[in-house]
Structure 1
Amino acid sequence: MKLRLLKLLVLYLTSAFFIAVTTVGLINTYLGVDSPLRPVVDRAVSLLPPLPAFIERMTEKGLSDLVDRSGIQTVQNAVAKAGRGAWHQPADDMSLLCGAPDVSTVPVWSARTTYTWVDETGVRNFGDEPPSELTADTLGVDEGNRDFETQVIWDGVTPNRALEGRLRGGAMRIYEQWGQWIGRDRLVRSQVALRITGDRKRFLDAWGGDANGPMPSGFYSLARNEAVAFYDPRKMSEARLLEVIFHEVAHLISTWQVGVLPPWYGEGLAEYFESMQVQWQSAKFRTRSEWSERAERSGVMPLPQLIALDSRRWFAGDIQSRYLTAGALVAFMMTTDPGRDGLMALAQRAQKARCAPSNAKQRWSPAGYPGGVQGLDSALRRWLYYPG
């Protein structure tokens, strides 16, 4: 009897601790607050999606009378928002990509040249002057009034001009990368808006989600052509705000250029760009050792499994590991000639299929890398776990 009571007590305390951690973590997520508990909540939430996914599979087999499919979608959406703290609008906005009357291309009149290179630690850098001992690629930057422009909107938040400069610089770097990949003469949407709002109600209205559910830190909208972040300086650091905006504007710019990308590529790019540290005309990214430290904490998925995930299944599992693996993959590929060539080839292929249905690109993979996907998986793991 005593042993049984002891087991019940341990079970009760464990359950109470789990509920407390989850509750606090979800409240933090709802408020857009960074917290040491967030990774714990991410891991706990990642255990939830398999149940609705299993029910959905049963539904497809003819048990639709037992399951409310809209309820499944609601659960999956809530899990995605709670686990990640950011939200990306559904594909029904994709009709805006083709035939929208106000979508403009960017003429090429470059009056200034910037340089980009990969240093000895494998980090991509940008600057006005080329490095003395490394090979650099050139990027033409148009300084005329037809250049890429960002409108930073401070909505209910005291403007921070220094931070605003970094936001503009980061958005420009993302835009320049697409110009390098697909050609500046093919770029579209020369203007985007970055909205930082401290008004919770206006943020929720613009987001269009459930006001009673977990609230994301940010989202992007094709319809309004803007990336939006909810920002309370008392609860969110400037560094976190930059991450949220860079992540969302990376999605916004990428989607306008090439449409929907496979999750590993689209989310990987957003993870890669969110780590930018912008200072004047220079931008530095997360180092190899920083990616290695994150990999030690979150674990790395096998690339064949990651690449096989479509957008519907992306959130049905260990979401933290998926984002980490996708971001590390893009970061690694940016350090090697075959990797950069592979990313560029996929970008150009996606640009040609820009108006294709989103499911047409879901199975694309970096199979052109030497050794195929398996070779790339081995190379990524060596880069992460055996830095030398």
Structure 2
Amino acid sequence: MDRRTLRLLTLFLVLFSTGAQADIFQWQDASGKLHFGDRPPEGAQTKTITPNISPQLKDLEIHVKRQDFTLTGDLQQHTLDNIRHIYQRYRRDFGLDLHGTAEVNVFLIEKQDDFQQWMVERIGSSSRHYAGVFIPATNEVAVWKWAENEQQVAQTILHESSHVLLYQLSPSAPVWLQEGLAQYFQTLETQPDGRQRISALPDAQKRIQTWVEQQRLITLRQYLSLDDAQWRKMAHQLNAIPYTVAWATTAFLMSKPVGRSILRQLLQDLEKNHQRPTLQRIDHLYPGGLSRLEYDFFRWAQSDMTPHWY
């Protein structure tokens, strides 16, 4: 097939894939010239080459189910838009949910007592320590207006929405990655030029750098070897440490192409083979292995941790 014929075929495939599916035929005229179209001449010998067209991708569905308060100015709409940007990052960076089936149902609750009651109705218990919560079974995110600084409330909405999205797209992702990505994406901000900026979490950055200076930071080899039950036990006993290291590990990997590639591969392993991340797998994927990973991580932890741009 010559280049002109190939271009014509490509054009027909594009044209017919944008609308309702129709039969596309191939035939030759008396001079042997190849033609493509949906209306071949009467009596022509044809070959049907109708492409197998996939359903069009659907956008993420976001439903605000309850709205006791509204974030002022453009902040609320920007926050909802940023949930979509997080979803796109999951799709583009990690190749998750190529059929666009995810949704987020948002509940904005003004008073803490009402938020507590909402939690009791959903899961049978509550905690006054929570600013927000997500319910994987129903793709629900609930946040109460816990801070005067509305940007902090918006970050909580993004944090919980990230959890809901990843649970839909990769429900078996390890807890450290679930929490790390939620913290990472909660600072996402869209700039006037349309780019997204993700900044370091100031408190987490300060803790990590202090622990590095004092040589108190758990090694990544120890941290990444924890299973979900061990991680939760550590979170219950040591509170800030597992959450902070989850953010730092994820932010470090997202700061460089090779790190994003590794996270993508780990999530794809889960998606395709139900293979959970192991030290051996990470050692194999990271150039130079775990020793180099720890070296690079500690160097990054002592840096300025400049914002990431997308």
Report the TM-score, using the length of structure 1 for normalisation.
Answer: 0.54
Q: Letter of the aligned partner of 1:221 in structure 2? A: I
Name the CA distance, whole Å, in 1 between partners of 2:179 and 2:291: 20
Query: Where does residue 282 of structure 1 map in the other structure?
Result: 195
2:76 aligned with 1:164? yes
Task: Give 2:45's aligned residue.
Answer: none
Q: Is 2:287 aligned against 1:350?
A: no
Partner of 1:18: none
For residues 227-247 of structure 1, what are the alpha-carbon distances to aligned partners after superposition, in whole Å with 9 as ceiling and x for unaligned?
Answer: 111114xx4421221221111
CA contact (8 A) 2:162 2:182 kept: yes
- Aligned with 1:335 (options 243, 255, 263): 255
Structure 1 Cα separation of the partners of residues 129 and 202 of structure 2: 32
Q: What does 1:290-301 correspond to in 2, within 5 Å? A: 292-297=205-210, 300-301=217-218
Map 1:253-272; keep pairs closer than 5 Å: 253-272=165-184
Q: Deviations over 1:366-388 (max 9, x none)?
A: 33112222321111101111559
Question: Once the 2 structures are TM-superposed, how far is the Cα of residue 266 of structure 1 from its aligned partner?
Answer: 1.4
The question of 1:361 aligning with 2:273 is answered no
* Within-5 A mapping of 1:132-281: 146-158=58-70, 160=72, 162-183=74-95, 186-208=98-120, 213-232=127-146, 235-279=147-191, 281=194
2:297 partner amino acid: L
Q: Which amino acid aligns with 2:195?
A: S
Who is 1:307 aligned against? 224
- Measure how far apart 1:325 and its partner are: 1.7
Which consecutive residues of structure 2, in runs of 5 or more, have no partner in the other structure?
1-16, 19-55, 306-310
CA contact (8 A) 2:107 2:143 kept: yes
- Are 1:301 and 1:322, in contact at CA under 8 Å, matched by a contact in 2? no
How far apart are the structure 2 equivalents of 1:362 and 1:214? 33
| Separation in structure 1 between the aligned mates of residue 126 and residue 268 of structure 2, nearest angstrom | 41
Moved over 4 A (4+): 209-213, 287-292, 362-365
Instruction: Give matches, 1:48-87, under 5 Å.
Output: none
Q: Which moved more, 1:271-280 or 1:169-178?
A: 271-280
> Does the 8 Å contact 1:291/1:384 carry over to 2?
no
Task: Specify whether residues 292 and 223 from structure 1 end up closer, same or farther in structure 2 by C-alpha distance, changes over 3 A only.
Answer: closer
Identity %: 22
Tell me the SS of whatever aligns to 2:62. strand
**Cα deviation, residue 146, structure 1:** 3.3
How many residues are paired up? 240
Conserved 8 A contact 2:189-2:197: yes
State the one-letter code of the partner of 1:361. R
3-state SS of 2:231 partner = coil
Corresponding position of 1:72: none
Point out the more displaced range, 186-195 or 341-350.
186-195
The DSSP-based 3-state class of the residue aligned with 1:195 is strand
Q: Using a 3 Å threshold, how does the CA distance of structure 1 residues 255 and 343 change in structure 2: closer, same or farther?
A: same
Q: Distance in 1 between matches of 2:72 and 2:57?
A: 24
Displacement after TM superposition at 1:160 (Å): 3.4
Going from structure 1 to structure 2, the CA distance change for 1:261 and 1:340 (only over 3 Å counts) comes to: same
Instruction: Give the aligned partner of residue 385 of structure 1.
Output: 302
Larger Rg: 2
Amino acid at match of 1:285: I
Matched position secondary structure for 2:74: helix
The answer for unaligned runs of 5 or more in structure 1 is 1-107, 110-143
Q: In 2, Cα distance between the equivalents of 1:297 and 1:231?
A: 31
Supply the AA of the counterpart residue of 1:223.
A
Deviation of the 1:177 alpha carbon: 1.2
Distance in 2 between the 1:228 and 1:185 partners?
Answer: 23
- C-alpha distance 159-177 of structure 1, shift in aligned 2 (>3 A): closer
| Compared CA separation, residues 206 and 287, structure 1 to 2 (3 A) | closer
Q: Which moved more, 1:285-294 or 1:197-206?
A: 285-294
1:109-124 mapped onto 2 (5 Å cutoff) = none
Could you tell me how far apart the structure 2 residues matched to 1:164 and 1:272 are? 20
